[in-house]
Amino acid sequence: MTKKQKKVLIRIIIAAVLMVALRIAYHFLGGGDAPIIKEPFWFILYMIPYGIIGYDILKKAFKGILNRQVFDENFLMAVATIGAIAVALVQKNGDYTEAIAVMLFYQVGELFQSIAVGKSRRNISELMDIRPDYANIEVDGKLEQADPDEVEIGTTIVVQPGEKVPIDGLIIEGTSSLNTVALTGESVPRDVFAGDEIISGSINMTGVLKVRTTKAFGESTVSKILELVENASSRKSKSEEFIAKFARIYTPAVCYSALALAILPPLFQVIFLHASATVWPTWIYRALTFLVISCPCALVISIPLSFFAGIGGAGKEGILIKGSNYLETLSKVQTVVFDKTGTLTKGVFEVSGVHHNVVENEKLLEYAALAECASSHPISKSLQAAYGKEIDRNRVTDIEEVSGEGILATVDGVRVIIGNDKLMHREQIRHINCHSIGTILHVALDGQYAGHVVISDVEKENSEKAIAELKKSGVKKTVMLTGDAKAVAESVASKLGVDEVRSELLPSDKVSEVERLLDENKGGKLAFVGDGINDAPVLTRADIGIAMGAMGSDAAIEAADVVLMDDDPLKISKAIKISRKCLRIVYENITFALVIKFACLILGALGFANMWLAIFADVGVMVIAILNAIRALRVKNL
């Protein structure tokens, strides 16, 4: 608790004790026909706890009137309580407890709100506790701590075990494991070696790393993320705007109704029904309960708090949502459009099959890898990766590359021909066509067909599950867009269970395809998921753009509305579930608060509700709404 909060708590306790003590004393000494202690003694005594608990509110209300800001909650509370005291004085029943209780509960509510908000604010900033405080720079063999902001690009920094990586860079010395849980929600540490790029915000766990910085601190991943998260709740959702507008109308409307309630019904009774003037206090009392109910606090605080908690909870899972408005849109998504490469598939080519003929698989792969050793094509990289052993270039001679077809080379004295159909035709080698989908590399050894290697872009492990989860969470249609060949695209789509697929698209076709889908799907919202590198136009065109695997990619963070920090496509359905939970809480709170408030207003007008019920309608509803809002932070098991 802060100092301010403690002070309020002490005031609440003192006032509560005094109030109860006075009530008991009044029961024995002041009640009945022959009170031992008479008025105005009680009135003066009761004013002590009232003053203790309410002086700041009365002061604020008075200042508000001077500044012509009448309809604020301080004013409402001041009028309601002073009014209640006045009614008690007129009716001579000595019941000042109500006025004090209203003030008391109001303060309890305010205190609770301030603690709850402070707590969730801290909670979320702890989640996002990735801001590095310093960077170690080696000067004359000694480490010196420098402000990350002042470290220039290209400086060599040292990151010791247990420290946060302060700036994005390239490892020049050392190996270690990095904990990226704060960035991606992924708890398995990542092993890094010299030559690897590392991202600021991750925590170095085991070894000392020397890093050459590649970016300034302000451009580093950690700064971008912090900026994004901190500004997220500034983009307000429609629900928040609705509540702000509602509050602006609601409070004055209830105040005028209260005024009308205090004047019109008793006037009517006195003039037309010849009632005595004693009906006034009853109606004034009813009007005062109106004022207590009229505070829109529950709504005004719980809605932004829900969004804030939802965004914070998502952040913990490695899902960065750029604003409350996007959280709202995300909850209405019914169509999800995917880019294939890099989103549903890994985007790197891998040897997915070796179909041998005369030699063993390993041998075939060895010849292929060796023959391709001089090429920088992604395909030869994947061959070398599949081979997995050191490549001895001295074994390879007479390399001849035929552009667009393949390679001829001599490996260990064996003439190797490796390439596609065209090359095989030209070299007049009878080859077997493969039924697998992907890029087929035929291999011939000394003019004899030896088999082929299938290279394809493989799906991510979670892609199939991700599509199934999306379906389960109520997404109606999934579409895959790709620039890849039709056969490849359709095989991937049917394997993963995607509803529709469009293949052989140019980047501009993707935009028009998304536009067509937007037209088709007027009711729900459309989300586009891409890897963010060349999808920027589509990401902006869709109702909501989701970029994934965005660690370190500035372009993606700029263009997308939702950024998934790691590559896992399962996070898409998770993001949608988080948004739905958050929005459900928002609607629960709006409905709950409005129903209770209007019910109490009606009961109050009819005379069934006293001030105690009114204070529940105000403070009780607010407390419940806040507790409900905080639920949005818990998203782990969604």
Q: Footprint of other proteins on this chain (CB under 8 A)?
A: 60, 63-64, 67, 69, 72-73, 110, 113-114, 117, 120-121, 230-231, 233-236, 244, 247-248, 296-297, 300-301, 304-305, 308
Contact 406, 372 (CB under 8 A): no
Q: Is 339 a catalytic residue?
A: yes
Taking the mean position of all CA atoms in its chain, how far away is CA 54?
Answer: 39
Phi, psi of 480 (to 5 degrees): -115, 130
d(CA 221, CA 420): 42
With tokens 């586009």, the residue in question is: 528
Pick the catalytic residue: 95, 168, 339, 554? 339
Beta carbon nearer to other proteins, 306 or 341:
306
Residue 565 contacts residue 531 (beta carbons within 8 Å): no
**Whole-number Å distance between alpha carbons of 99 and 220:** 56
DSSP 8-class letter at 542? S
Q: How far is the CB of 54 from other proteins (least distance, A)?
A: 15
**DSSP element (H, E) containing 349:** strand 345-356
How is 238-252 classified by DSSP, letter by letter? HHHHHHHHHHHHHHH
The whole-angstrom separation of Cα 92 and Cα 86 is 10
Give the closest residue to 365 by CA, choosing from 450, 426, 422: 450
CB of 60 to other proteins, least distance (A): 6
Least distance (Å) between residue 488 CB and other proteins:
46
**Residue 299 CA from chain centroid, whole number:** 21
The angle subtended at Cα 430 by Cα 429 and Cα 435, nearest 5°, is: 125
First-to-last CA distance in the chain? 32
**Whole-angstrom distance, CA of residue 615 vs CA of residue 82:** 15
Distance CA 153, CA 150 (A): 10
- Helix (H, G, I), strand (E, B), or coil: what is residue 438? coil
- List Cα–Cα distances, 574 to 136, 499, 530, 638, in angstroms: 38, 20, 16, 7
> Whole-angstrom Cα distance, residue 302 to residue 622?
8
Strand partners, 164: 203
Q: How far apart are CA 370 and CA 393, in angstroms?
A: 7
Under a CB-based contact definition with an 8 Å cutoff, are residues 514 and 528 in contact?
A: yes
Tokens of 273: 């029904």
Residues designated as active site: 339
